[in-house]
Amino acid sequence: MVDDRDLLKVVSGIIGEERTSDDCCMIKVGDDNIILSTDMLHESTDFPRGMTDWQIGWMSAAVTLSDVASCGAVPLALLLAAGLDEPERISGITAGAKDCCERFGAELAGGDIDFHSELTIVTTGIGRVEDEYYKTRRGAKPGDIVCVTGTPGCAGAALEGSERYWKNLVEPLPAVREGRLLAVAGVSSMMDVSDGIALSLYDLSGSSCVGFEISMDNLPLSPGVSPEMALYSGGDFGLLFTCGRDILPVTGVDCTVIGVVTDSGEVLCDGVLVERRGYSHRWMEEI
């Protein structure tokens, strides 16, 4: 069985590791650093049953704005390509994406429309970031602390039936303001936790060549959310970041220290190896 992280290694071998180690890429245009990110979502795997078209549009915009924000960038615009199973869905989807963009300071600036047997949406975000505020997964250093914003696991709880967190799941709020504040404050690495904290720690670990030692007791939990859900479930859009101990608190950012960065290369929780699992696309065939 292969998952999308295996496939990413194939792509990495063709276009270069630097271009595949983050959810965004940065290109220089004149004096500006342009941040780009693209995400493909499908009805059967990404949009829980019961979502409205407006929520589908909102979520599609949110996931990409979250990636842009996790680089420390200011989002500018979003494109939305929709493969529609039913043409009338375009109005709700467009309205939801536009509202999400406006809420977070970006413009829904265009897209593409197509027919598809299964609703498929690809959003591409563009943002801008200064050299000194550009954050990736690569800067974590042993001795740093590792933190999350918000209370992860709520979307996962909703997926398991908790109605109180339904909106967390279907109308996620990308941490655009927080990402920018943390970047300006000088965090050393950052990404969103959309695939869950566990997988995200492994991603940071691989990119920064470091390990982590976190504690279950430190995980910030909303009522009814288990530490397991916080660690292993996806669909939340908080930020995971590392920084020197002197940086916190950052005014305007609600975050929690969950552990420290180590030089071991291992991801441990209370001394035990964290399972490398979370939100991931999987294929049954061998590559």
Which residue ranges make up the annotated binding site?
23, 37-39, 46, 67, 111-112, 137, 192, 194-195, 279
Q: 3-state DSSP call for residue 241? A: strand
Structure tokens belonging to residue 155: 């979307």
Q: What are phi and psi of 121, to 5 degrees?
A: -125, 130
C-beta of 48: minimal distance to a copy of itself in Å?
17
Say whether residue 39 binds a copy of itself (CB under 8 A). yes
- Binding window for a copy of itself (CB under 8 A); candidates: 25-33, 165-173, 218-226, 266-274: 25-33
Binding residues for Mg(2+): 23, 37-39, 67, 112, 192, 195
Say whether residue 84 binds a copy of itself (CB under 8 A). yes
Using CB under 8 A as the binding rule, the residues of this chain from 228 to 287 that contact a copy of itself are 281-283, 285, 287
- Binding window for a copy of itself (CB under 8 A); candidates: 18-26, 141-149, 155-163, 225-233: 18-26
Helix or strand (DSSP H, E) at 10: helix 4-15
196, 155, 228, 218 alpha-carbon torsion, rounded to 10°: 80
Q: Tokens 């799941």, residue?
A: 169
> Which residues are CB-neighbours of 161 under 8 A, at least 6 positions away?
none
Convert residues 115-154 into a mask of x (bound to a copy of itself by CB under 8 A) and - (unbound).
Answer: xxxx-x-x-x-x-x--------------------------
Query: Contact 125/166 with Cβ under 8 angstroms?
Result: no
Q: Which is nearer to a copy of itself, 118 or 263 (CB)?
A: 118
Using CB under 8 A as the binding rule, the residues of this chain from 97 to 116 that contact a copy of itself are 98, 107-116
Environment class of 13 (CB within 10 Å of its CB; exposed 0-12, middle 13-18, buried 19+): exposed
Q: What does each C-alpha distance from 37 to 5, 75, 129, 203 come to in angstroms?
A: 17, 11, 13, 17
Position among 49, 53, 73, 81 found at the interface with a copy of itself (CB under 8 A): 81
Binding residues for ATP: 111-112, 137, 194
